[in-house]
Structure 1
């Protein structure tokens, strides 16, 4: 069965010998065709047998090969898309914004629903008007007409809200109304059960290969997930991906692949859900290797640009490698943003952000989320993104994070509303109050979209020695944060942040990992 959509109309004869529509058959389905044709109203019809029933079908909707089942000649971009070099793999050829017309020259496969998985297309280049690029795009982001493609998703008022979401002055992060709100299908992955309520322990680079004391603690508690550093700026192990993309990172990696694998395996044996953490756009060692892909502000080129597709490729290939070699259930991407100084950089107009495709900052961040999530789905892993607590306040931040545009795509969103980061007088003394107030803002953003990510929140897991008064964060203050998050409606779990993975501190508040 062939056609320009996923389902092909079939007909039966009525009492007068005319044809009436009798349903549809999925495109790509194999049917038996009778040789004799019938002409009606200027069209030729074939008699066929499908699913044990006899029908008539327009002869144009039959193909003797599966390759001929897809009849589209052109398609239009509904959701901004990455154009891939190959049928499979994360290599990036280009980018196509909303409304772009793409010429169809093939496809990879039909799904059971009759939809195309990836189209092979020719798209306009970005260097000059005559350049074209051939590559592959996911069919789920396409529409058959320009009019359909330029529509914005507004079923529950998502787009109406986005049009209103603005800060009191220009932050240069982009406009919420220019983001995509079509619900991303968050399918469950066979053989990989997603952790809906993660009582998570953070395992830094050192702890990843020295697991003994942490494992003892995990076994004493109801801890059911760990976040293990793969790249916290510096790389944990000598990755083959890093060897290609960032020789400096490879050379200065903390340990060997073999030692890292042993450590991860010890954690796996406890039965915990494995989350690998990758710091993306804050990577000084990659920056040293590739200043051409970094933001240039004055003489500084120390921050890889979120506009740079090579930076995307490096980090997502690293994620894929970690899933395939070490069996991580999920990859958590941190520093998915532009620098905190982005407002000043943008306002000065003296910064080169390496913006090849003319995206707004928030568009680049959302487009990275689409890319990373799609690629990790291909290898059977979930995706989470860390965001600043500020992103919950209903405007696009200067560094490009906008809560609902990220939560709409990924499986888990992990905000970092640390109690000593609010700028309020002594906010760290009242963890319940400040987290409840913030949590209600975040829950409001969650409810503004149809299919939000699980909200799995980083909480303050350290004392506050740099502030007056000094506050010790023991079990009561830790539980106060968790209780506040639950009260606010954010029930996807928590991760105490302690940069040192201080085992003494973990022992001090170990009861927080127990089921309440």
Structure 2
């Protein structure tokens, strides 16, 4: 998950041209030209001129936007995994420490008394910490391996599966300050300081282009699959969300674009993991289903959706600027925000022959840093779930970083 203020910070840093593209960026459509009102409605930028719509066809990639035409949109077989049937997942996020403490008992009890039937468990978190020791870490990041919280996750998974809880391994992918510190030659570099780049949270990123780093994440994913997780979910499967004029050295050693780096990683993950009978999922910014490009972070909706089994847009109402979708304060209108966002996601998926299934992240925290924040109580969570259900989406993921969940919201 991104830090809570990342999306709002990103909007404030975008140059004018990029902001205009958010206002009225066209959605690709299946053979027809369409222009949709984008985030931050026209009332915010009355002088914005419409951008020409882009025609997109399933059969001819030449009609994709030029910058993204060389990505893989070909149909990909996505069968059900043997011995691992698909489920309408209703999941909560479980951090490393909840997974290894008495807090887990409370979360299992929650699942037994509500509709919750799945846990998204940190296997590698956004500080590079690991749930369990594994060969990939032993080879490429001995410090992370030494600090891991357990030797073997199988007893944990067996306990959860005995309770009919579907187990999703969350792997924070390219944001990894521990790996970047151990291997500074593989970190993204701030050219102004010649030091490893750090985001607004002070955490470093390793390069998504680096072969060893990619192998490290893929190795952790493989270990999680072998241990018995039902699904591998890649988070921070993107480049840092910085201003487009940020002076960063991504250590790119060829012509591969950011979107290509992201999609090629996911396709390789799929190639390796699917034979192990696990599903592959990717988390993306909620804005990605609405913007016409990859937001300069490498997340182009159709490219990600085509590569994975499940795509998980993070549609937290608190992450949207005021007037997004014509809503004065999106955080105060959870139903309306989710309703508009999921419709955009569904439209984008219709551009593909074999899109990923939709499984959005929704908000179960109160964004107290907002000037006009809304208390995310039971009613606010239920409103988001209802918006998804009204649009035919029965699966969801619930984000509360402290893992505090109100039982009444999930009945």
TM-score w.r.t. length of structure 2:
0.78
Deviation of 1:335 after TM superposition, in Å, equals 0.3
User: Which structure has the highest helix share of the two?
Assistant: 2
Q: Is 1:248 aligned to residue 143 of structure 2? A: yes
Out of 211, 228, 240, the residue aligned to residue 121 of structure 2 is: 228
* Counterpart-to-counterpart distance in 2, 1:486 and 1:159: 32
- C-alpha deviation, 1:222, in angstroms: 2.2
Partner of 2:155: 262
Query: Over residues 105-134 of structure 1, what are the superposed CA-to-partner deviations in whole Å (9 max), with x where a residue is unaligned?
Result: xxxxxxxxxxxxxxxxxxxxxxxxxxxxxx
Instruction: Describe the shift of the 1:161–1:476 C-alpha distance in structure 2 as closer, same or farther (beyond 3 A).
Output: farther
Describe how 1:267-416 pairs up with structure 2 within 5 A.
Answer: 267-298=160-191, 299-301=194-196, 302-325=204-227, 327-341=228-242, 343-345=244-246, 348=247, 351-393=248-290, 394-416=292-314
- Specify the alignment match of 1:198 in structure 2: 89
CA distance in 2, matches of 1:261, 1:315: 20
Deviation at 1:377, TM superposition (A): 0.8
**How many angstroms apart in 1 are the aligned matches of 2:276 and 2:337?**
39
Q: Distance in 1 between matches of 2:162 and 2:379?
A: 30
**Contact kept in structure 2, 1:305 and 1:311, CA below 8 Å:** yes
Contact 1:338 1:399 in 2 (8 A): yes
2:338 is aligned to 435
Paired with 1:213 and 1:221, the residues of 2 have a C-alpha distance of 12
Residues 158 and 383 of structure 1, relative CA distance in 2, 3 Å threshold: farther
Structure 1 stretch 180-189 or stretch 359-368: which is displaced more?
180-189
Do 1:275 and 1:328's aligned partners in 2 also have CA atoms closer than 8 Å?
yes
Q: Compare 237-246 and 422-431 and name the one that shifted more.
A: 237-246
Q: SS in structure 1 opposite 2:65?
A: helix
TM-score w.r.t. length of structure 1:
0.62
SS at 2:188 equivalent: strand
CA contact (8 A) 2:57 2:351 kept: no
Q: Is the 8 A contact 1:209 1:264 kept in 2?
A: no
Contact 1:342–1:399 (CA under 8 A) maintained in structure 2: no
CA distance in 1, matches of 2:378, 2:86: 27
Give, in angstroms, the shift of residue 492 of structure 1: 5.1
Q: Higher strand proportion, which one?
A: 1
Deviation at 1:178, TM superposition (A): 2.2
Kept in 1, the 8 Å contact 2:135–2:219? The answer is no
1:258-314 deviation per Cα after TM superposition (whole angstroms, max 9, x unaligned): 4x4433332121111111100000000011111222211232323111111211111
Contact 1:242-1:249 at 8 Å conserved across structures: yes
Mapped pair 1:486 → 2:389: yes
Aligned length: 337
Describe the superposition over 1:36-71 as per-residue Cα deviations: whole angstroms up to 9, x where unpaired. Answer: xxxxxxxxxxxxxxxxxxxxxxxxxxxxxxxxxxxx
Question: How many Å separate the matches in 2 of 1:226 and 1:323?
Answer: 15
In 2, the alpha carbon distance for the partners of 1:492 and 1:433 equals: 17
Q: Which runs of 5+ in 2 are unaligned?
A: 1-55, 197-203, 323-327
Mark the CA change 1:473 to 1:340 in structure 2 (over 3 Å): closer, same or farther. Answer: same
Q: Which residue of 2 aligns with 1:110?
A: none
Matches for 1:156-171 after TM superposition, within 5 Å: 156=58, 159=61, 162-163=64-65
Conserved? CA contact 2:57–2:63, under 8 Å: no
Structure with greater contact order relative to length (CA < 8 Å, sep ≥ 6)? 2
Based on CA coordinates, which of the two structures has the bigger radius of gyration? 1
Superposition deviation, residue 440 in structure 1: 1.5
8 Å CA contact 2:78–2:309 kept in 1: the answer is yes
Matches of 1:470 and 1:423 in 2, distance apart? 12
Classify the secondary structure of the residue corresponding to 2:319.
Answer: coil
Equivalent residue number for residue 182 of structure 1: 74
**In structure 1, how many angstroms separate the alpha carbons of the residues matched to 2:259 and 2:181?**
25
Unaligned runs of 5+ in 1: 1-153, 165-174
Query: Residues 158 and 224 from structure 1, CA distance in 2 versus in 1: closer, same or farther, beyond 3 angstroms?
Result: farther
Q: Cα RMSD (Å) of the superposition?
A: 1.8
Compare 351-360 and 310-319 and name the one that shifted more. 351-360
Q: How far off is 1:209 after superposition?
A: 1.6
